[in-house]
Structure 1
Amino acid sequence: MSIRWLSALIFVLSWPVLAADHGAAHFFFYRINPGDEAKFEAGYQRHLDWHRQHRDPLTWYGWTVEDGERDGFFVDASVGEPYEAFDHRVDLADDAADAKVHVSPYVTPTGRPTFQLLRKVSTATPLEDKEPSKRVQVTFVSVRPGHERQFEQSLVVSRKALLSMREAPAHTWYRLVTGGESTQYMLMVARDDWASFDRFHEDVPALLAGDEGALRAFSAAVRDMRTEMWRYRPELSNLTKTGP
């Protein structure tokens, strides 16, 4: 066995399996019907008013996708709660009826994946802390079945590298639970503006460049990656209060 392969094998076997964080992250993707953007935004704001009037305890974030294949899509999400919270949503039937009037005529739903926060490989959790950035760089990673352990172990190394970089923005990792290809992960990198790329632009392989075993494990595990930028829409969001 070569020294390189021995290094990779030692890396894979030396880390324990990461413990799961039970923070649920429910995402909903919508394609806005052509020409209905203004009607959708006005209707969605009215629907958020319904949530406020019914004292919905869930936090709802809204974004517009700015590039990639889903350019122009709207994304909303509820994060930072246990999975059980979605079993006790406020007046679900009336919620659906209100959405049918104010939102559904203007959009086509395209997906509703649920992710699990991986806090131990993340450097910060802006959404769970209700401190969203003005933009967020979102990378979806498809991992080969059976390589999840190696992939997550490589993220431990990337986190260590990030914590040593003064200009590194918040990196938050999630693992898909249901609603898509099962071996899928999502990385959200906080970005306030495009100038943030001048200060920090390293991707995960670059972060792993100093650890041959981790880089080899990551490269063997990843099947595909795609990235897009989302713009936070505070007027299309509802952040619940945590205090009195």
Structure 2
Amino acid sequence: MKALILLAFMLPVIGYAQSRSLAQFVTWQPKPGLEKQFEEGYKRHLDWHAKAGDTWNWYGWFFVSGPRAGQFMDATIDHAWGDFDNPVDPAGDHADNEQNTVPYANFIGAAKLNAVTSLSRPGQYGLRSKYMKMITLQVLNEYSATWRIRNLRNRVEDKKGINFFVTYKTIDGGRMDHWYILIGADNWADFEACADAGDKLLDSGVFKSITSETLLYRHDLSRFPAEKQ
């Protein structure tokens, strides 16, 4: 009996310790006329990660709609919190960034987001889809927000062409009341399933603001060490 009681107390701790829900998103603004140089420089920086033995996955996208159109965003996802205590060679990473990306783009910001697994349906290939819709929510009421997001997920997650539906909450590097819904599809036609997402979410008592942007996935600006590149 004592062993069972001890196990009951340990299970939440074990689950917490093994959680791999943390992600880091970084945004860059390529300098005017230097967009191609930025892409080539970023590829060299990914090569540095490979040579340094980095085992993390890296995704790359360009915003193609909204006020951030033209900006580049990269992300590394599915991490335990402790992973960020041991990134590969931080000094070398910084030095290579200074050489290969900083000359061609302005650093906008970095944020750590935590996936809300109960409001998500990850894709078979992570966040890889040709297009990714990013819905940014400024949340006023977390309980009601959870209910509304769950209803939206239940309505669209199994629609043909929807590859993933992932909800994140800001942990660091931004407004703590900002949540993000990421929806992946390979064709614009597939996004019709969530065309009325704003109508389903909009409520002045739950969300202060809702914005939608679309990003284009760039496999050539991404890296997955466990797979053949």
TM tier relative to shorter chain: 0.7 to 0.9
Distance 2:119 2:227 in 1: 25
Of the three residues 97, 100, 104, the one matched with 2:98 is 100
Distance 1:118 1:204 in 2: 20
Of the three residues 201, 205, 221, the one matched with 2:206 is 221
State the match for 1:4 in structure 2.
none
Of the three residues 153, 169, 179, the one matched with 2:173 is 179
State the match for 2:131 in structure 1.
135
Distance 1:201 1:34 in 2: 33
Instruction: Say whether residues 1:167 and 2:160 are aligned partners.
Output: yes
Q: Report if aligned partners of 1:22, 1:116 keep a CA contact under 8 Å in 2.
A: no
> How far did residue 131 of structure 1 move?
5.4
Structure 2 regions of 5+ residues with no counterpart? 1-14
| Closer, same or farther: CA 72–166 of 1 in aligned 2, 3 Å | closer
TM-score normalised to structure 2 length: 0.84
Give per-residue Cα distances to partners, 1:141-167, cap 9 Å, x unaligned: 0112xx11221133233333335x543
State the match for 2:122 in structure 1.
125
**How do residues 50-199 of structure 1 correspond to structure 2 at under 5 angstroms?**
50-122=48-120, 124-126=121-123, 129-130=125-126, 132-144=128-140, 147-162=141-156, 166-167=159-160, 169=162, 170-198=164-192
Distance 1:85 1:57 in 2: 11
State the match for 1:211 in structure 2.
none
SS at match of 2:191: helix
SS at match of 1:115: strand
CA-atom RMSD in angstroms: 2.4
> How far did residue 199 of structure 1 move?
5.3
- Runs (4+) off by over 4 Å: 19-22
Identity, % of aligned positions: 27
**Counterpart amino acid of 2:212?**
T
> How far did residue 86 of structure 1 move?
1.2
**How do residues 198-217 of structure 1 correspond to structure 2 at under 5 angstroms?**
198=192, 201-203=195-197, 205-206=199-200
Structure 1 regions of 5+ residues with no counterpart? 1-18, 209-214
Paired residue total = 211
Distance 2:179 2:187 in 1: 24
Q: Report if aligned partners of 2:133, 2:213 keep a CA contact under 8 Å in 1.
A: yes
Give per-residue Cα distances to partners, 1:111-163, cap 9 Å, x unaligned: 211110011111x2138x4351011011110112xx11221133233333335
